[in-house]
Structure 1
Amino acid sequence: MSVPEVPASLRSWMSAVSEIARAVNAAEPLDAVLTRVAEQACLLIGFEYCAVMLADAAGEHLQVAGWSGLSPDYVALVSDGGSLLIRPPGPHLDSPAARAFREGRTVAVPDVATAASYGRLRSLAPAQGYQGLLAAPLRTSDELAGVIVAYSVAAREFAAPEVELIELLAGQAALALETARLRTASQAVIGELSRANAELRRGRAVLEWAEEQHHRLMQLVLDGVGLPGLVTALAATLQASVTVEDAEGALLARAPEVGYRPPPDSRARRRRPARAALEAGDNPTRRYEVVQVPVVRPAGPVVPGAPGRAAGEVAWAAPVVLGGELVGRLWVTAPPAAPAPVQLRVVERFALVVGLELLKQRHLVDMQGRLSGDLLGDLLRPDGPARPQAVLTRAAALGHDLSRPHVLAVLAVDGPAPAATRLSELIRGGAEPDAHPLAGPYDGLHVLLLRAEPGPPEVLEVLGRILTHTAAALAPRATPTVVAGPVARTLGDYATAFRVARGAAALRRANRPGGLVDVRDLGLSALLLETGTPDALRRFARGLLQPLIVHEAVRGGDLLATLRAWLAAGCSTSSAAAALVVHPNTVGYRLARVEQLTGRSLRDTEVRLELQLALTIREIVHLDHPT
């Protein structure tokens, strides 16, 4: 079964939320508000029917309170007292809606025909004519109130964004229900004593404050302020420090700039009280709830001027979830007072929107990766791009002027990477904030193009950060290798540069995977690296350098270092001596010894090229042993 695209854009979602909020604020009847929620589920996610069901006062049955697209006969059938039992005596009377309510989690039924554990569907589904459904619980601040059920005429697998959207709409329905109950309660106390009236006014002010923050949040998303803007706004609202991390604890955004207090470090989180609190927050049945995490002050002397931890200090953490997967956390630390329940609800809403922002970023990275991969496929054709100007135009759209020199690098991974690994995100995370390589998959490797102009950031520094970041994410099962290949100055140079970098990567991986290899300045000797196999290149280097390696192992003499320095200095004896801090006569003696041991004349240009390549191969594969 194909998985349909979710038709709701972020702007459509915000518009729907605003419409529901307006209906709630206008004090529309609860059934009308819940009907709006059902209609928006059909419009945003592409379902044919939808129903919002509430538990009865006894907690025994689910009853339809608002719906879209369902026939009156079906609504009557479902609303029958014995139809949707919350705790049926067996699977022959069970339903996905009842199970979602009982277990407090979203239940998906891709195909009714194969859902043997839900006996009620055998009579309900044909009555309305649906094949698949999603049921998500409605959770108010203190209880489960009901479920929202969306129906599909066709059987289908439900994608993670569809599940996220139905759960977010369930949250809006729960908010509408809770607001309606609060409004009913507020009307009941009208005319009470002045103290009760004052408390009511305070409660309404709190609700208005929360609603104001909600609308402000929606506007920030529409304005496209990104994750830093959202975090800054929440920090200002709560007068606290706010931090967003990914699932591995890496910092994504934080605020404020002045007086920022970080969340507990990894050591503090491993302590039993903190670990228990975080594990409770990660429980799927409490998917978006804020949890209180104790902060233990580390032992040791107090550093003057450094922010300390007050005894008994606590922090608050909200999980950021996408498709049932924990992708990060939102932390609130050092508020002026413990957040009130309504403030914690604001934090939970922020965590939901942070999840949407991360989802948007993930989709953007995936799209850029696909575009970059297609571009690299055209750029690295063995005979060069078929349409050079089109390649330049597409690269410019991705922020790279390929008419200027670029270093071509490759990243290879040996070993089984974790299932959730996204190399594009790892490369971007390691390269930021001062470099944005054009990166994408090609021929079993990840290719990176970085501007080669002088000035920061230096290419090897950026590649080193990418390697470190990627290795930390893949450890201990997989090992990345990064090769900085030649500089490509014209479009026709990129295919050659790729073959050289690929050859160096194959040579390194065949001997000892991992690390950063630099073959940017090989010159003509790169042709051998481009065409030779790893075994042939190793034999070539060992055969040429073996006498020098054996001599150094037995007698020392720094012959290899001297030869390397002399070749790097343009075959200048005086420059090599200065680099090695020895007398020029010493360099001359050592070079004569090299000629004697290898039986080759260093005056021969071809010999110098061969020695240069042999030394490069030795550095790549760590060819250090005499045998």
Structure 2
Amino acid sequence: MSWVLSQPDLEIPLRGGVAGIARTIALVLTIESENPFGWLSGGELVLTTGTRLPATPAARAAHLRRLDERGVAAMGFGIGPAHAEIPADLIEVADEIGLPLFEVAISTPFAAIVARIAARSAQLRHDALLRAARTQPRMTRALVRSGARAIVRELATALRATVLVLDAETRVTDVHPDTPDDELLHTVRTAIATDPGATGGVHTDQGRSITHQRIGVGGRVHGSLVVVSPAPLSAVDQILLGHANSLLALDFEKPARLWEAQHRLNSTVLGLLLSSESDLAPAWTHLAQAADAAGRIRVLAAECDSLDAVDEIRSVAESMAVRSGHPLFLHLLARRVLVVLPGVAAVAFARELAADLGEGTRRSVRFGLSGEHPLPELTVAADAAGLAAAAAERGSAPSEFGALTGRSLLSFDSTRRVLDTLANTVLTPLIDHDAAHGSDLLFSLRAYLEANGQWEAAAAATGVHRHTLRKRIATAQGLLGCDLDSARVRAELLLAILARGS
């Protein structure tokens, strides 16, 4: 309500009921009826010119009180032919019951107020949905990384409220931001007790809204999720509450199959540690879950500039694995992250992982993806992924190992330094000659070398006659003091030119 009154161009000064200025408007209605009460359900801003209001002050007071009882958020009174000003008795009653009553100038059409509030409501709904869309994946990642406590923190932050988790005996197990006092805890427990066996409910107490939901799966109840907020939760807030409840239920439930899988993995690791023969067959059997139907894998490598980036990549990968239901095989080595992926799904996983990272993290990571390999070639795939990552640019899409052909030597610092030295040493006579005479010897030499010595193709690339090109290459050969008939010389010169120009 306060936002509407703050719009200066609408010219709607508040005349009464200032105590209710914090009320929320859900709908705007223009009503000229003696008996509109059956059409009202709460949260309405009623606009009227007062043409059908009762004639006496007592009747008008009763009319306004009934509007308040129906939950009307406010009334806008249009000044016009029916009333030159708002009746003083209406202002007095509005102040008494705390129902905001504002004046609408004759120059302000009701339609302008309706349009402004509709636009504001649409923007608030969009913002709320966007907030929910951002919060839900954060809560999912919080579950993977830190469990119930992190979910409670994320929900409390998103709702700007106090969130509690109570076990089946109504003992507080998690709370954020602060533990409530004994009086509020008693009120919460009473609210839960008034809904035995129910899924939850909403209660109000001393200007607070207490929303609670049962946490459980099937007939098993693990406790309650409670939100204490200044006002009832919106529909979007309820969506976030339900999402958090589902995640908490998963965390409490710990399905038996997950425990069994964890036990099998623990047994496998223990067996490997105790085995004097270091039999790795069980480990290979376990890793086979990562392969696709054809038994092929690809390895994704992420070279990170910081440990924070390592942590975020691990968190996002774990969240993606939870959503997909596929096992995650991830290995950390200093600032490198290796993920073993099914061959057919690796590219999509790698791109989604990179896209889900924060902008700052993405700019500090180089991703490399190996080609497809059979499972026993795991180390070969890991080495290939590492080479592809080393050749990738920070912040770019994952570089695939198979795409390195033709540029891999220029991608590594050690070989690049050698090639730069070669370029600066060998090519200087051509560069100086071109600068002094305005010639294109270096450009012509590159075209000749890239055409593998084919005169016609090289001449076409440079746009000159082949005889002109032959003369340029002869001049270049003389300046360089080398034999261009040697394949090794031609290879070194081409690499030097590419290193200088890349």
**TM range, smaller chain:** 0.3 to 0.5
In the superposition, the TM-score normalised over structure 2's length comes to 0.39
Give 1 or 2 for the bigger CA radius of gyration: 2
In the superposition, the TM-score normalised over structure 1's length comes to 0.32
